[in-house]
Structure formats: structure tokens, C-alpha cells
Structure 1
Amino acid sequence: MADDVLAEFEPFPDPALQEVADALLELDPTGARWAAIVRHTYDMIYNGQETGRFRWDQLMKTEKTHFGTLFEINAQREFEFDGGDATDFRIAGHQVDAKWSQSMGGWMLPPEVFGELALVATGDDAESRWSLGLVRVRQEYRREGGNRDKKSQLNAAGRSAVRWLWREAPLRPNVLLQLPRPTIDHIFGHRAGTQRTNRLFRAAEGMIVHRNAVATVSRQLDHQKRVRYNGGARSALKGEGIIILSGAFYPHLAEWLGVPIPQRDEYVSVRIVPTENGDGVPIGAGRWRRAQPGEASTVPAPRLPKVGSRDE
């Protein structure tokens, strides 16, 4: 009896699915490009610079529905897939329809996808994870019934038949979902975008801060200027012993100080204190290390060295 149950859930041989899987893995062996698509789609739908939003539950119902469309568009732009006849894409010569659901297994499958391959994806911004796989939308994999549009979902056998290319893979974190809610309320509680930015980097010491988080907090067109010297967060927090490192210019300092290394469009703030006996990281005329929790910052942080003609 147990063998019969297992056989019921065993996927059918599907050479076309394997060919599409191979093509996708060749295009993106590590999943980094798909992860960037998911991250970018979340940031697009939040539209933080204009709205100040950064959580899924802040979106309107129509916006949540639109996420799947943006995901499909961003995937096509990134990989330049050919268009399908009745489906979104043609990959390795096969029809493939892209489906996103914020919940695992919640993909809504229209009649035109029945019998075709579906590229199913899901994610959780709060948990910083995403998944993407392939499944043939067979009759035996679909739930009975459906909604007024004749759409249906995968049943248990269908969900078990998904060929996962990436499952619970890491998503670049949204720092505004990682900080405690009272801290977030404090950050957004100031009327001035410059002060909100200062509060963000003060509170997120040692954490990766994406440029979109800065835009969401500052709500200003020139949001990156709010980070720099000459009136930005670097100047304001210098007296507290805090430096702000960009991944474009200072990833080596982040590595030496033992904090997460930011990518080119990310920052990490670090509270530092001077060292003695030649230890620590050389910055400016002195040597420095990351301050311990609760350790007082007795002197201002040094100005970061210019890289080329700029200090970013």
C-alpha cells in the first residue's frame, strides 16, 4: 500500500521539463540572477522612495496581484526569453508560463497553462528567502473545481512533482524588516528625511543597508546624498564614532572590521574605536577596530579616504 502511495506522487518522466531546467541552470548556475529579480520586484512594488512602504502587508490588493506581472516582466528583461504562444515564455523551445505566489503552492493556473510547463516561484521578504521550480500542469496534478475564471491550483501530487531549481534560497535582506518594530517606528518618526537616514544607520550598525532602504527612509530624490559627507549621515554620525562603508568603494574595510561585506549598491555602518600597539585597521592617521556592544566611543571617527575623486 505504501509503495502505491509513493508511486502516485512520483513525477512522470518529462524530457521537455529537463531541457528547460538545464537551460535555466546554464543561464544562472548559482541562482544569483533570479534572486536579484525577486529582490528588484519587491522593491519595485513597494516603491519606497515615493510611498515609504517596505512590507507586504502595506500593499493594496491590486498591487499584490500585480507582483506576478512585474516578476514576469523583470525575468524577461533579465534573460531575454522568447515569448510563448499561449504562455509567457519559450525556453529551450518549450512553452513555459511564469507563476508567482506569495505563499508556497498558491499559484493560480489558468486553462491556457493546462498541459504546459509552469515556472513556479515564491518568496518571503521578511524571512529573506525565495524558491523557483518547474512543473508540468497535468490534469492529475490539478485540484478539482476552480474559480470563475476556470483557474485551478496544484493538488498535493502536483506540489510534490515540482522540480525545484532553488528551494528556500537566500534573498538579499530588507533591513527595514530585520529591525525591531519600535526601532522602525522611531526611524520614521522624524519629519526630516536627513534625520530619518541618520537614525537608520545608527540603528542598523553592522547590518547591510540597501540603497532602496535609504530611499524609503529619506523619501527624497537625492537620497544617496543623505549618506555622504557635507551634511549627510557620514558627517552627522562621525562624532558618535560611526563610519558608513559603501560596497562600491570600501568593501575591504568592512572585511577587515569583521562586518558583513556590502555589494556595490549597499552600505554597512560600523561604530569604531581607536586601538593601541599597532593593532586594528588603518584608517586615516590611526588604527581602529569595531566597538564592542556597550563600549563608549571616546573620539570621533576618522574621515574615510577618498577613492579617486570621490568619497562614497
Structure 2
Amino acid sequence: MTFEAVPLPLFSDLQDDGGDEELGRVRAELVCMDPLGQRFAAVLRETIDQLLNGEHTGHYAWNQLLKTEKTHAGTMVEINLQRRFGFDNGDEMDYSIAAVDVDCKYSQRFGAWMIPPEALGHLCLLVWADDVESRWSAGLVRIRPEILNGGSNRDQKMTIRAEHRDKIVWIWKDAELPENVLLHLDADTREKILVPGAKKGQARINQLFRLVLGRRIGRGVVRTAAQQVDYMARVREGGKGRARPKLREEGIIILGDYQKHQDIAAALGGPVPGKGEFVSHRVVRASPAHEGRPSAEIEGSLWVVARPGEWEHEKERAPRLPDPQANQV
């Protein structure tokens, strides 16, 4: 069984390119390379996580970054997109896409793209992502003097006039950015997870999967909680203190991005972990009282996601998940 993401709205199919043949070619090439926008979204998620550098800093929010760190965001987005998609270097602009020079501009604040004078006449790939809103957009626009505000900074960089943002041909608009779970937790829960201490990495990971049930948890969140180089080892089997065996005693399973785990996640009726993601659930053995609820077969028995108070009644150990390396597809 395989899982396919629901296609994002392709605004490129809805907006006219205004007869700009080069824009149309670039748009078609980007959609061909990433029809659902998943690769693009993954680059933005990874770039934000790189900036936060939670493994070493414990940071989980944009406003925790220094001003000098924030200034690197545009360059990192530009570099990481080029690496992921293999864009050629442009002759005058950042990229060559479909044999067209394209500049890349990122802003964490919608509409605040800084356009340099040398971009006049060229296409710009405008990228926005907001970790608080868990949304991102990417579109193309031909830079012409009449759509710009005058540059008032030292570099004479300009912005696009608000009334001319309708000239942007959106490829993906307000698409879902993989969630930064730590950022969106209530302060009390986050404090219970991010307990201070150099040797508290395993405890933080265990708390993360204990307290954040039924939500996709990205690798960057795990890295920030662990604050250790071997952060992934904190989740796996292999020791009594590690998250999977430890939380199994509390009725909790931790599903990863393996096919077998994705099958179980779908059967349980919850979110399916994507690449580099986890989902934890507290489960109970299915009984006639659970008829009609989504269930998954694990270790030869049917299990359902526990509702509040159900596990506390029996306090049964959770099943061990199938070995992802055995006959893995």
C-alpha cells in the first residue's frame, strides 16, 4: 500500500502568464519537477531548521534568532533550492531554469522581497514561508520599473508595490509548510518537554512523544529536543531507556516513515508520517466496545487509538511495531 499526498492548488493552472513565454516555460518546468510542491516545502522546512540550529542552540522560533542569523535566510533558501533541484547557474541571475535566467528572492514577511536593480527585466522566483502560520508560497514575476517601490537603502533594493502583487503568477500559494511542532505547543507543554540539562536529551525525547500524540513530528523537532548529535538513536529500539521501548510500557507506539509504519498509521485513522517524520499514539487492544473505530493489526492483534481514560483502565503494554528492515519496500 502506498500513500500519495493530496495535490496542492497549482495556481499556475489558474493564472494567465500574460503572454510571457519565458515565464510560462519556467513555470511549466518547476511544476514538472515538483507537481505537488512537496520537495519545495521540504527545502523550506529544512532551511528554517538549519537557521534555528536547534541541536546546538535549543532554538525553535524565528524570533529567537539574531538579526545577523536572519539575514542569511535568503541566501540559504537560494542555495538549498539549487542543490535540491539541480538548477544550473544563471548567466546574470541566480539560476538558469528552462534556459531562462531567474533570480531567487525569499522573505519571511509576505511582500518584503528585496529586488536589486540588476534584476530589472528578469524573472524573479519569489518565495515566502512563515513558520508561525505554517504556510508558504512561491511565484514568478517579470521585474519591471512600474511595479516597484523605489529603493531607499544603501543597495538601492526595491520592493514590489502592493497594488502590483497581482502580477505575480503563483505556482503554489498558501501551501502547507511542515509544522514546527515545538513552536505551536502551549507554553506549559513545551516547558515540560524542553527540560534543561546537557544529559537530558533522552528525557526530552521521551516527553516529546509522550505529550505530543497524534501529530506529525519532523526530524528538526526531534533534533531540537535531543540537542545531541545522535538524536535519532534516542527514538529507536536498542535500549530500555530509548523512546520506543520506554514508551511502549506506557501504551505508546512511535510510527516512522517506513512503509509498514505508514500502513499502520493510515489504518489507525490518524496522520501518516512523511519522510523524516514520526507520529506517536497511545493505543489499546480492540474489543467489541471499539466497533466502528479505525484499527490496525500489530503483533497479531487489532489495536485502536486510545481515547482519554481508556488506557488508564487497563494500562496494557503497547505492541512492538514491525521491523522496518524486514522485507522493506
Question: Structures share a fold, TM > 0.5?
Answer: yes
2:247 to 237, 240, 264: 237
CA distance in structure 2 between the partners assigned to 1:83 and 1:285 by the alignment? 54
Structure 1 partner of 2:13: none
1:227 to 232, 235, 245: 235
Counterpart of 2:296 in structure 1: which amino acid?
Answer: V
Give ranges in structure 1 of 5+ residues lacking alignment. 1-9
Shift of 1:14: 2.2
Mapping for residues 1-312 of structure 1, pairs under 5 Å: 13-191=19-197, 192-229=200-237, 230=239, 231-248=241-258, 249-277=260-288, 280-297=295-312, 298=314, 299-308=316-325
CA distance in structure 1 between the partners assigned to 2:173 and 2:300 by the alignment? 47
Shift of 1:11: 8.2
SS at match of 2:71: helix
CA distance in structure 2 between the partners assigned to 1:305 and 1:75 by the alignment? 35
Shift of 1:296: 3.4
1:193-214 deviation line (CA, Å, top 9, x unaligned)? 1111111001111111112211
Shift of 1:12: 5.6
Counterpart of 1:154 in structure 2: which amino acid?
Answer: I
**More moved, 87-96 vs 275-284:** 275-284
1:173-192 deviation line (CA, Å, top 9, x unaligned)? 12112321221111112531
Shift of 1:310: 11
Distance 1:224 1:274, change over 3 A: same
Give ranges in structure 2 of 5+ residues lacking alignment. 1-15
RMSD over aligned Cα, in angstroms?
A: 2.1
Assess if the C-alpha contact under 8 Å between 2:283 and 2:311 holds in 1. no
Shift of 1:264: 3.5
1:3-25 deviation line (CA, Å, top 9, x unaligned)? xxxxxxx9864222222212222
**More moved, 68-77 vs 47-56:** 47-56
TM-score by length of 1: 0.90
1:205-235 deviation line (CA, Å, top 9, x unaligned)? 1111112211110111111111123120112
CA distance in structure 2 between the partners assigned to 1:110 and 1:163 by the alignment? 20
CA distance in structure 2 between the partners assigned to 1:270 and 1:177 by the alignment? 20
SS at match of 1:250: helix
Distance 1:264 1:105, change over 3 A: closer
Counterpart of 2:308 in structure 1: which amino acid?
Answer: P
Counterpart of 2:318 in structure 1: which amino acid?
Answer: A
Structure 1 partner of 2:12: none
CA distance in structure 2 between the partners assigned to 1:264 and 1:23 by the alignment? 24
Shift of 1:38: 1.0
Counterpart of 1:239 in structure 2: which amino acid?
Answer: E
Assess if the C-alpha contact under 8 Å between 1:135 and 1:158 holds in 2. no
Distance 1:161 1:304, change over 3 A: same
Counterpart of 1:300 in structure 2: which amino acid?
Answer: R
Counterpart of 2:297 in structure 1: which amino acid?
Answer: P
Assess if the C-alpha contact under 8 Å between 2:251 and 2:311 holds in 1. no
CA distance in structure 2 between the partners assigned to 1:307 and 1:155 by the alignment? 52
